[in-house]
Amino acid sequence: MQLEHNGFSNQAFAIVAQLHAELRDDAEIAYRFEVESRYRQACAFEYRNDSNSALAIADALIAAAPWHCSARRLRASLLGERGLAAEALAEHARIAELAPDDAKSASAYLIALQHDPAQSAAAIAAAHRAWADRHLAATAPGWKAEQRNADAQRTLRVGWLSPRFFAGLAETFFAAELRQLDRATMTHVLYDSGGIDDAATARFREVADTWRRVDMFDDDELRARIQADEIDVLVELSGHAPGNRLRALATRPAPVQISWLDYFHSTGTQTVDVLLSDRVLSPPELLGNYSERVAYLEAGRLAYSPPPGAPPIVPRADGVLRLACFNRLSKINDEVLATWARLLALLPDAVLKLKMRALDDAGHRENFIARAAAHGISTQRLELLGYGSHVDTLAAYADVDIALDPFPFSGCATSCDALWMGVPVVTRIGDTMVSRQTASLLTSLDLDNLIGTDSDSYVRCALELAKAAERRRDLRLELRERMRSSVADVERHARELGGAIRESWQSWCAGVGR
């Protein structure tokens, strides 16, 4: 029953599939064992940055065992990582047909939708509501005032729930802020649902008033733990991102439940009462796409904390104009490439520098080069680098003149990094929250003239900046200080965040949303 692992033989799979249909039960067992073995092999190839081999095995697995959703999830992930949004979505749709009750896969589909420029904001919002209808059959009724001391001014117990209390986005936008949050009238309990422990985790654990490891808890156990801790306001930090515990919130473990930080969209559910945002990310005309009440933070939705090892800004020497994008490759769809190709055609001496983790994988790299060539971008115009460390990435901005934001999934931490290193970012704003991340940052920095509304104005913004060397030099000297007084003002943001939590509690006490 052994398959030809080295040759990825579809014929071998066909033989086993036939045996599966014709022989006794032990053939079924052997067949499924072999399928799982091959799937694990595909995952190992992905881990070793060999996406071509991982895809080959996944394709063979799907051909031999169309029911194997894990292979399809792997294939969808790899296609999405290559910026092939439509192809990834097609695989996600097939998973939904095969496993309609798989809430985690359905959440992955929602994230994939936000990478696809063909999807409208209304359609994405409707898909989120459909997720809730399917996977949250019922939401527990809201708490009544008599079930909790509904004193609007009393000391609050605030819970923070996340699977990502480790190095990454949560560390960048929350670790320093947690230290600044009010301790006189609030107690902060962190619920780690990820179970990954690193130096950043130690920082979170040190600052938390109480630390709870809950990654082994099921939904009922998690609800019971939060209720036992008498949490008044629960802030859910991951939305539909991997590892989320949204379904546990349906049991209403806290009177007030808030969404913030690591998901740039409405959850689509009635389990979350409030979504924290800002007026650029969530303007009044788009609030129909939100299931939650939106509370605005005037300082912006997030406060950026640069890494301690961030290098100093280096003056840019005259030379070849260098455009750059250090976002994930999954964000660079064909519409982005077509727009960049137009810009490069208007700047014949410029080069495009990309630095991202996916470029450490030869298969992803080759696929990107082929896609770029199809849009008329030759390899001579490209500088392709793998990721390295975060500090390495910051240092790589030293020879960059302009950062190009992808769309519709714009940058967040990546845009903050570029701006902190003195590099202006050109963006294209859309109608979804995730397409407005960089626009929100630029608005805070009084750089609205770097925000395009379509591909034409995006190209125009970049072209004007490319031809304004003195303006770029000034921005390089000014941007870090502008960041310090706005986007990176953690103390101010912490005051506003704490105020929004208090206001949400006061609204509950007054009966709003109950």
Report pLDDT digits (tens) over 54-87. Answer: 999 999 999 999 999 999 999 999 999 999 999 9
Task: Say whether pLDDT at 335 is over 70.
Answer: yes
pLDDT given for residue 319 in this prediction: 86
- pLDDT at residue 32, as a whole number: 77
Task: Give the pLDDT score at 268.
Answer: 97
- Report the pLDDT value the prediction gives residue 317, as an integer from 0 to 100: 83
pLDDT, tens digit (0-9, with 9 covering 90-100), for 425-459 = 999 999 999 999 999 999 999 999 999 999 999 99
CB 430 within 8 A of CB 484: no
Task: Write out the DSSP string of 15-82.
Answer: HHHHHHHHS-HHHHHHHHHHHHHHHHHHHHHHHTT-HHHHHHHHHHHHHH-TT-HHHHHHHHHHHHHT
Q: Is the pLDDT of residue 6 over 70?
A: no
> CATH assignment of 322-488?
3.40.50.2000
- Domain(s) labelled CATH 3.40.50.11380 in the chain stretch across 150-303+503-509
pLDDT tens across 356-392, in order?
A: 999 999 999 999 999 999 999 999 999 999 988 999 9
At 26, the pLDDT band (50, 70, 90 cuts) reads low
Mean pLDDT, rounded, of the chain: 93
DSSP state of 172: I
**Architecture of the structural domain at 150-303+503-509:** 3-Layer(aba) Sandwich (3.40)
Spatial distance between the Cα atoms of 364 and 357, rounded to a whole number of angstroms: 10
- Termini Cα distance of the chain: 60
Rounded to whole angstroms, the Cα distance separating 404 from 410 reads: 10
Check whether 29 has a pLDDT greater than 80: no
- pLDDT value for 149: 92
CATH code, residues 10-135: 1.25.40.10
Q: What b/e sequence results for 273-284 when a residue is b if at least 16 CB atoms lie within 10 Å of its CB, and e otherwise?
A: bbbbbbebbbee
Q: How many angstroms separate the Cα of 108 from the Cα of each of 40, 170, 331, 390, 473?
A: 20, 19, 15, 26, 41
Examine the pLDDT at 97 and tell me if it is beyond 90: yes
Split at pLDDT 50, 70, 90, the class of 2 is very low
Q: What is the pLDDT of residue 233?
A: 98
The residue among 512 and 35 whose pLDDT is bigger is 35
- Tens-place pLDDT, residues 270-318: 999 999 999 999 999 999 999 999 999 999 999 999 998 899 999 998 7
**What is d(CA 225, CA 191) in angstroms, rounded to the nearest whole number?**
10
Delimiting residues of CATH 3.40.50.2000 domain(s) in the chain: 322-488
Q: Which residue has the higher pLDDT, 13 or 297?
A: 297
Which tens digits make up the pLDDT trace of 186-202?
999 999 999 999 999 99
Strand 451-452 vs strand 425-428: parallel, antiparallel, or unpaired?
Answer: parallel
For residue 34, what are its two tokens? 């072999």
How large is the average pLDDT for residues 34-46?
A: 91
- Cα 514 to Cα 47: distance, rounded to the nearest angstrom: 47
Closest among 193, 197, 201 to 170, alpha carbons compared: 201
Q: What single DSSP character describes residue 234?
A: E
Query: Which of residues 226 and 27 earns the better pLDDT score?
Result: 226
Q: Where are the beta strands (DSSP E) in 90-232?
A: 156-162, 186-192, 210-213
Q: Is the pLDDT of residue 89 over 90?
A: yes
Q: Cα(434)–Cα(443) distance, rounded to whole angstroms?
A: 15
pLDDT, residue 1, reads 35
**What is residue 33's predicted lDDT score, i.e. its pLDDT?**
77
